[in-house]
Amino acid sequence: MNELLEGVATLADLDASGRRVFVRADLNVPLRDGVIVDDLRVRSSVPTIRALLDQGAAVVVASHLGRPKGTPDPASSMTPVGERLTQLLGTDVLIATDVVGDDARTKAEALEPGQVLLLENLRWDPGETANDDAFADALASLADVYVDDAFGASHRAHASVTGLPARLPGYAGLLLERELDVLGGLLTDPARPYVAVLGGAKVSDKLPVLENLLERVDVLAVGGAMAYTFLVGQGVSVGSSRYESEQVDGVRELVAAARERGIQVLLPTDVVVAAEFSQSAAATTVPIGEVPDDQMGLDIGPQTAAAYADVIATAGSVLWNGPMGVFEWEAFAAGTRRVAEAIATSPGFTVVGGGDSAAAVREFGLDDSVDHVSTGGGASLELLEGKQLPGVVSLRR
């Protein structure tokens, strides 16, 4: 068994018939004017809820949404999520008007087998992020059994994540089990060669992950704005590209250590540049080392993207976390798109590690061609750093 799942009971161990089950889901979806922009996390929660309903359970679902400051905020109401859940489950989802107040308690107590109740936003109550005992007690009083299916929140020691399994019998849902199985496999026994493609804005966000991956990967390909810190560390001029000067020495040492171990480190050989950080800025492609002083890199170039695609095509395992450029703007999307297409057609086992890279594969319509798209950005990174996730630790018996 995957070591991350050792001591963790799963849905296969749970007889939920006739029981009221509290499901901590991750329904933290982006909203625009009250409309869900990307429903991946809602869709990902459905198999666990459906499995419990099929067993004859009554299901109380809870999640946070956005960043309310411990007080009710209509802009972060769970109502749009409840409406989408109703569509996906094909059954009416009741929505409480509060978290642990009179309405939530009344509706939970009246819940019949086969029915679903969605609580209001957990973070409307300050007790959630404070991991408050009284708030955890109130949540626990709503159900008989706890199921954690919120991988995206499993790195938070919050009341609904760590407080509840201290009060109720706890189980991992299908999504959490799958995330731990897949990402744990990359940590312990990846098919080789193992290629990690890392991008995004800041090296400082990924440095612990990079250091942990050096123990495991065969090829490391770097893109995004963080690549410019790597390039400066190699003595390359990057014009006005953004980089983290305080990380240059550490990155230089990391590259040297990687190459000493025989790990292939791929850095951009050409980049797409512009005079300003703007969607409408004129884009040109230049070789690395020839970036004009008044230009900044906003995407990897075609030569670089082709080189990265070549190593992805021969990989046994691929992990991708972080876009190669500002993919939201068409002029600077080609590098990220090429990498996404290479991952989608790779014969190896492919994992996209949440966050912006997950958004990119969905935007390009390639998510169904990837073996696993993680729902947890921060949780994925902490797991890949080698950290213990509080939500998982709290389920161990």
Cα distances (Å, whole numbers) of residue 275 to 49, 88, 381 = 50, 46, 32
Strand, helix or coil for residue 32: strand
Tokens representing 377 are 């950005």
Angle subtended at Cα 255 by Cα 254 and Cα 256, rounded to the nearest 5 degrees: 90
Question: Is position 41 annotated as part of the catalytic site?
Answer: yes
Q: How many CB atoms lie within 10 A of CB 1?
A: 9
Cβ-contact 118, 81 below 8 angstroms: yes
Neighbouring C-beta atoms of residue 25, cutoff 10 Å: 31
Which is the catalytic residue, given 223, 325, 355, 391?
A: 355
Catalytic residue among 50, 105, 167, 202: 202
Candidates 19, 41, 84, 123; catalytic one? 41
| Inter-residue contact 16 to 55 (CB < 8 Å) | yes
Residue by residue, DSSP assigns 200-258 as: SS-HHHHHHHHHHHTTT-SEEEE-STHHHHHHHHTT---TT----GGGHHHHHHHHHHH
Q: In what order do the strands lie in the sheet with 349-352?
A: 264-266, 219-222, 194-198, 317-321, 349-352, 372-373
Q: Is 90 a catalytic site residue? A: no
Report which secondary-structure segment, H or E, holds 110.
Answer: none
| Cis amide linkage into residue 165, ω under 30° from 0 | no
Give CA–CA dist 82/110, Å, rounded. Answer: 18
Decide: 279 and 332 in contact? Cβ < 8 Å. Answer: no
Answer yes or no: 223 catalytic.
Answer: no
The whole-angstrom separation of Cα 228 and Cα 211 is 18
In what helix (H) or strand (E) does residue 1 lie, and over which residues does it extend?
A: none
Q: Judge whether 355 counts as a catalytic residue.
A: yes
Backbone angles phi, psi at 258, to 5 degrees: -65, -45
Q: Which residues are catalytic?
A: 41, 202, 355, 378
